[in-house]
Amino acid sequence: MSDWTSGYMAEVGYTYGCYGELSAERLRLAFLSAGLALPPLGTACELGYGQGLGANINAAATLTRWYGTDFLPAQAAYAQELTAIAGHGAQLQDQGFAEFCLREDLPDFDFIGLHGTWSWVNDENRSVIVDFLRRKLKPGGVAYISYNTQPGWANMVPMRHLIAEHARVMGSPGQGISARIAGALEFGEKLLELNPAYAQANPEVKARFAKLRSHDRAYLAHEYFNRNWNAMPFADLAEWLAPAKLEFACSAYIRDHIDEVNFTPAQLAFLRAIPHANLKQTARDYFVDQQFRRDYWVKGARRIGLVEQMEQWRGMRPVLVVPRAEVALKMKAPVGDVELQPALYAPVLDALADHQVHSVAELEQALAPKGLGLPQLLQAVRMLYAKGDLVFAQDEALQTQVAERCHRLNAHLMKRSCNTEEGLFLASPVTGTGVPMPRFHQLFMLARNAGRQEPAGLAAYALDILQANREKIVKEGRPIASADESLAELVRQAEEFMRARLPVLEALQVR
């Protein structure tokens, strides 16, 4: 592999993701839940933006000025293409960290994010990143870092090393990374079938390794086959970030903020008795067997008082994004299945059932006659957000300012969906970030934009595109051969789309 890669996987592009942790919506919610002041997000930077889909969506759907770099030229070219079409002015480069981070023309940043990147770069690049955070992150600014960690990776680290080593010494570069990955997985499976002592000591490894077959090859290439790979314990990362004056703020994963779904009462009492904040996080990872951390760090944490915190909560504006009847009153969690009380959640869901924006203050007033106060309401909206049942809307004036560029970006992404399954997110001016959007749903939206309004018309439009591409619909793992059967399946999906998904997309102004 050529030197310019610094050991990073350059043979295949990264996946086309949009990560909520990099959005202003998630930042607001996480900091508010932790009782911390959040700076105005005027400038933001993503180090290692992958394909740049998320950076472009977040830049289009907010007024934050985004910068970033990803050293793979093909990914930078795609990201810059989206930027030009949306017209939001993000500066997305193709420079390595050592070059980008020393540029003198960059502003100071309110937010700097790295999704997964920290785990896959060498120590030299980590030092460059820490120096960049020290120099360019404003006082009060936030850094987001997600990374593989211990103890959740403990039993799989040897298997990751084994397959990466097989790909390095047994595969030839001429094979291509997909063939080397296939050979490495086959080698690992054969080894585990022989029941080595390692597998006997770690019985869950076989099932976990078997799941790798179901993952996209591009994901596997970047997750498992980089030369540099590190599952870093929390305390080690805290030590790395200390020279940048960063301290742990809170998790970017909202479920982590809800103690009762993560710990038994005895475990929670144990954690609360630990006086050292970083040691508490380390012990927490053992209770939940943490494999991947998503954390916000802050350069100078500022706590807000309870009165201010409650006022900010009252200004939050939730929107239900799942049909009311389909919201399950249970949640899978580290402590097991958590049952949600109908007496609390049913009134909240009923009030949000129209998929319109309702402020927490409005909900508080509407639900007071039912005996629900603000603490119970906040418990419900945080839990529903953690489950993925609701999102939060940004200010209406801001929505108006960003709507047109969101629609330009979405039109381009939906047009690309005619030929590819790359970008499965669209931009929402209401939430200020991305909305998951399967390919067929994008085709149905294209059909509606072309004047088709009924499920049969949406289905016929999508089928024409698939047939032009010589693609077949796969149902229950089996390609559908018949055109009539394909159309019937698409009609069924279009009916479901119009019933359950379209009202949500209209409320989020995704078009």
Contact 244, 127 (CB under 8 A): no
Helices (H), 102-241: 117-120, 123-136, 157-169, 177-193, 197-201, 205-210, 217-224, 234-241
Per-residue pLDDT of the chain (511 residues; tens, 9 = 90+): 345 455 555 555 678 999 999 999 999 999 999 999 998 999 999 999 999 999 999 999 999 999 999 988 999 999 999 999 999 999 999 999 999 999 999 999 999 999 999 999 999 999 999 999 999 999 999 999 999 999 999 999 999 999 999 999 997 777 788 899 999 999 999 999 999 999 999 999 999 999 998 888 888 988 899 889 999 999 999 999 999 999 999 999 999 999 999 999 999 999 999 999 999 999 999 999 999 999 999 999 999 999 999 999 999 999 999 999 999 999 999 999 999 999 999 999 999 999 999 999 999 999 999 999 999 999 999 999 999 999 999 999 999 999 999 999 999 999 999 998 888 999 999 999 999 999 999 999 999 999 999 999 999 999 999 999 999 999 888 999 899 999 999 999 999 999 999 999 999 999 9
Contact 37, 303 (CB under 8 A): yes
Contact 41, 24 (CB under 8 A): yes
What pLDDT, on the 0 to 100 scale, is given for residue 5? 55
What pLDDT, on the 0 to 100 scale, is given for residue 172? 73
Measured CA to CA, the distance from residue 111 to residue 89 in angstroms comes to 17
What pLDDT, on the 0 to 100 scale, is given for residue 6? 52
Measured CA to CA, the distance from residue 220 to residue 287 in angstroms comes to 27
- CB neighbours (10 Å) of residue 476? 5
CA separation, residue 156 to residues 148, 160, 202, 285, 421 (Å): 11, 6, 9, 16, 30
Sketch out the chain's domains with CATH numbers: 3-151+231-257+289-298 (3.40.50.150), 157-216 (no CATH), 318-392 (no CATH), 398-507 (no CATH)
What pLDDT, on the 0 to 100 scale, is given for residue 1? 38
Q: What is the DSSP string of 377-429?
A: HHHHHHHHHHHTSEEE---HHHHHHHHHHHHHHHHHHHHHTTT-----EEEET
- CB neighbours (10 Å) of residue 420? 10
What pLDDT, on the 0 to 100 scale, is given for residue 458? 98
Measured CA to CA, the distance from residue 449 to residue 362 in angstroms comes to 34
What pLDDT, on the 0 to 100 scale, is given for residue 352? 98
What pTM, to 2 d.p., does this model score? 0.94
What pLDDT, on the 0 to 100 scale, is given for residue 418? 96
Contacts of 53 (CB under 8 A, 6+ apart): 16, 17, 18, 79, 82, 422, 423, 425, 434
In this structure, what token pair is assigned to residue 150?
């211990």
Residues in the chain: 511
What pLDDT, on the 0 to 100 scale, is given for residue 12? 59
What pLDDT, on the 0 to 100 scale, is given for residue 14? 73
CA gyration radius, the chain: 24
What pLDDT, on the 0 to 100 scale, is given for residue 137? 98
In this structure, what token pair is assigned to residue 506?
């209209």
Contacts of 10 (CB under 8 A, 6+ apart): 1, 2, 72
